[in-house]
Structure 1
Amino acid sequence: MRTHHRDFLIRDWEPRDRAMAANAIASVLKEYGLGWEPQGADRDVLEVEQYYWNVGGQFWVVEQQGEVVGTSAYYPVSRGENAVEIRKMYLLPKVRGQGLGGFLLENLERAIAERGFQTLWLETASVLQEAIRLYERRGYQPATGVETPRCDRIYVKYLSS
């Protein structure tokens, strides 16, 4: 993946991004009163190769002037047939409100569909109101079965085949 949205570069994660991506995610979690869990829910950010690349997923970073200002990712899951979980959709406060979240989600959905997946899951927390509004506007429906302790909402969207 390599695309642009305004002055942002969205590209595939590289090992050199590990610390910057982790710091960006930890910063957003802290902003909302959620904990950074490097041994739990956030271990995948520190081990992208294992959790994403090795299983057919993708992890992208959003870069602005050489700084990682956001992330987005997905990997296959066993919640139904041809399913993925969208993960790590985070943007630093200074880059929000510019349509970047919608652009990322649209590109994730396109990449997911191109790989033949049909069911999209995502977990989030109620405090992430901007994200919830984005997901609901884009057709994600509330579901049940939250697995991540810091999350209290789960959504699903079915792509047409």
Structure 2
Amino acid sequence: MNSRSRIDRYQNYIIRDWQSDDRIAAAEVIKNALAEYGLGWEPDGADRDVIDVEKYYLDRGGEFWVIEDNGIIIGTSAYYPCLFQSSEPENLGEQAVEIRKMYLHSKVRGQGLGKYLLCKLERTIFDRGYREIRIETASVLTAAVKLYESNGYVPVTDVETSRCDRAYVKFIDK
């Protein structure tokens, strides 16, 4: 693991920093989760960041985590900094982060792991000094929509990913 590696646990699951040999397994988790909901895998579009984690996350100051169960990758979660035109005038032009690639294998959903990951991402983002978080998702991902809305994310209209039809923002208080 690299020098800034982190390991965390939730129940029996290990949450750790992505490593280059995780590329195929992480992509498979995401591809399979999308397929369950009738959404397509887009390696040349919305999912190119999973193919090149170094460029889209690590080199930009973001993070990409994998979740393991007995050495098998069963989930992913990530964020990267990006420039948004904030809807709050005092934050115009400031950097925000976008949470991306929060996917879990169907066998581990409904155990609180998604909520734990979201809270862990928010804490990490806050500790890095960011106060605005963006998320895009698809309406068909009803559990994700419910998770975001029940954790203080509010709808916005600036969806950038063709596969997604919902976007959310959350401002973290200082």
Partner of 1:65: 70
Deviation track 1:84-108 (CA, whole Å, cap 9, x = no partner) reads: 0000000010000110000000000
Any unmatched runs of 5+ in structure 2? 1-5, 87-93
Deviation track 1:56-96 (CA, whole Å, cap 9, x = no partner) reads: 00000000011110000000111141300000000010000
Tell me the distance in 2 between the aligned counterparts of 1:95 and 1:61: 13
Quote the RMSD (CA, aligned, Å). Answer: 0.6
Partner SS, residue 102 of structure 2: strand
Tell me the distance in 2 between the aligned counterparts of 1:122 and 1:97: 20
Correspondence for 1:48 among 50, 53, 74: 53
Correspondence for 2:24 among 9, 19, 23: 19
1:5-154 pair list within 5 angstroms: 5-79=10-84, 80=86, 81-154=94-167
TM-score by length of 1: 0.99
Instruction: Kindly provide the amino acid, as one letter, of the partner of residue 33 in structure 2.
Output: V
Tell me the distance in 2 between the aligned counterparts of 1:97 and 1:154: 23
TM-score by length of 2: 0.91
For the 8 Å contact 1:82–1:116, the answer to whether it is kept is no
Runs of 4+ in 1 over 6 A off after TM superposition: none
Deviation track 1:92-128 (CA, whole Å, cap 9, x = no partner) reads: 1000011000000000000000110110000000000
User: How high is the sequence identity, in percent, across the aligned residues?
Assistant: 57
How many residues are paired up?
161
Tell me the distance in 2 between the aligned counterparts of 1:77 and 1:128: 24
Instruction: Kindly provide the amino acid, as one letter, of the partner of residue 110 in structure 1.
Output: R
Structure 1 residue 17, shift from structure 2 partner: 0.4
Structure 1 residue 2, shift from structure 2 partner: 1.2
Deviation track 1:122-149 (CA, whole Å, cap 9, x = no partner) reads: 0000000000000011000001110000
